[in-house]
Structure formats: structure tokens, C-alpha cells
Structure 1
Amino acid sequence: MPRPADLRFRATTAFQRRIVNPVLRRLPLQTLLETTGRVSGLPRPTPVGGRRVGDAFWLVSEFGGRSQYVRNIAADPRVRVRIRGRWHTGTARLLPDDDPVARLRTLPRLNSAAVRSLGTNLLTVRVDLDR
């Protein structure tokens, strides 16, 4: 029998992949993280919530290493981030030693609440933006 965390992961990712993400990707001011697909090599834009602080963009993945974009980052850390309609290139870093719950307190409230309530394996991601 599947564990509750597995059921939550499967239900949440299916809902996001089929309904939420296609809609959010079309919104011009939605923040997007674009990774390169580790198998296809194609650009993979994912709506995310986070915040730019100086030359870094911070976010927290709700499913850690199970998230497709985190797996893509592990294979190729070069990414693009669309912030307020403008694209920025950068290098993503997975930060397993960072406290993701504390990090969420510094990020946008609505997204942080959703990540905390739905997430099962939080992981902080920092994108060092190119100048």
C-alpha cells in the first residue's frame, strides 16, 4: 500500500503538470525556471515561487530530488529564470544543508504556504545569476 507521502506526491505532481503549470507558463509575469531536459535536451520551463536577492534567485522545491526540475539541475546546472517578464541566465545550486523551512519564511507567502503544506521533502535551490 502506498504511503501518504507518495500519494500526496503523485496527486500534487499530476495536478500541477496537467492543470496548473500549463496555465501559469502562459502568464507574462509568472516566474519561470527553465532547465534543460536531461534526456531530451529540450528547454523545460517550470513555474516557481521564489525571490531575487542581489545576484541570486532563491526557491524551495517541495519534493526535493523527486522534482523533475531538480533532477534536471543535477544533470546540468545551467538554467534561465524569468523574473517579472525578463529572462536571466545562471547556475543553479542544490543546497541540502540549508534550512528550507527557514528559507520559506523569506520567500513570497502564498507560494511558501503551498510548498509547506504540500511538500514532503523540501530542498533549497539557489540560482547564481550571471551579470
Structure 2
Amino acid sequence: MSRYHEIKHRVATTFQRHVGNPILGRLPNQPLLETTGRKSGVPRQTPIGGRRVGREFWIVSEFGEKSQYVRNIHADPRVRLRLKGRWHTGTAHVLPDDDPRARLKALPRFNSAAVQAIGTDLLTIRIDLDD
């Protein structure tokens, strides 16, 4: 990763961790992804943007394998997802062969624009919902 991308990643994740995520996580209609911490075993909630299509929910991680929730998914793909105030269980799949830029075109416009603007290593994730 270039020095520019390292700085961009550090600035964006610091902002998300201390400002964006605490605010977004409190909004009742904000989708939340809950993974299990790979080291701590503690539930970790991350505000996300994406779209439900039938029994699947699609997201694009802006920092790919460097995203903490992607690392947690690799350790334990069982997740919970809050959609419109209701929690769902499911299994997350990291899809490195999917085209994340094409996928963003099918996801909510505002979130997709933000992911493209700050993202340094886009990666598609599909969550297969149990219910």
C-alpha cells in the first residue's frame, strides 16, 4: 500500500471510529453489521451501507482485508445484521472475485459515492440471511 493510501486509511478509520460510527450506530434505520471480535470474542457493531436483495445483503468494504469487520468475518462468518430496526442472522461471504465497482452501482448512491471517495481497496461481501 502506498504512503498516500496508508495515510488516507488512517485518517478515515480514525474519523469513522470516533465520530461517524458512534453517530450512525444510533440512527434507528441505519443498517448495522455485528461480527464477533476475532481476538476478544465480543460482539462488534459497524454501521454499513448496502442493499438487501431477497435473502441476501450486499456491501462493499472500502478498505478490503484491512477492515476490522472483514478480519472478523474471516475468523467467524456468522453475523447479525440490523435492517430497519430488526435483527437478522446470517453468514457472510468475502467475494474477492466480484467486481466491487460494478457492485457499487447497484447499491445506495450516497453510500457508494462515499465508499469510492475514501476507499483504497474495495472488496465485496455478501451476507446470506437465515430469515
TM-score scaled by length of structure 2: 0.98
State the shift of 1:123 in Å. 0.2
- In percent, how many aligned pairs have the same letter? 67
Mark the runs of 5 or more structure 1 residues left unpaired by the alignment. Answer: none
1:43 is matched with which residue? 43
Asked if 1:110 is matched to 2:110, the reply is yes
Residue identity matched to 1:77: P
RMSD (Å), alpha carbons:
0.7
Write out per-residue CA displacement over residues 72-117 of structure 1, whole angstroms, 9 at most, x where no aligned residue.
0000000000011111000000000000000000000000000001
1:1-131 equivalences under 5 Å are 3-131=3-131
Mark the runs of 5 or more structure 2 residues left unpaired by the alignment. Answer: none
Runs of 4+, deviation exceeding 3 Å: none
Distance 1:121 1:52 in 2: 23
Residue identity matched to 2:48: V
Distance 1:127 1:4 in 2: 31
Distance 2:29 2:111 in 1: 15
TM-score scaled by length of structure 1: 0.98
Distance 1:39 1:30 in 2: 26
Residue identity matched to 1:95: L
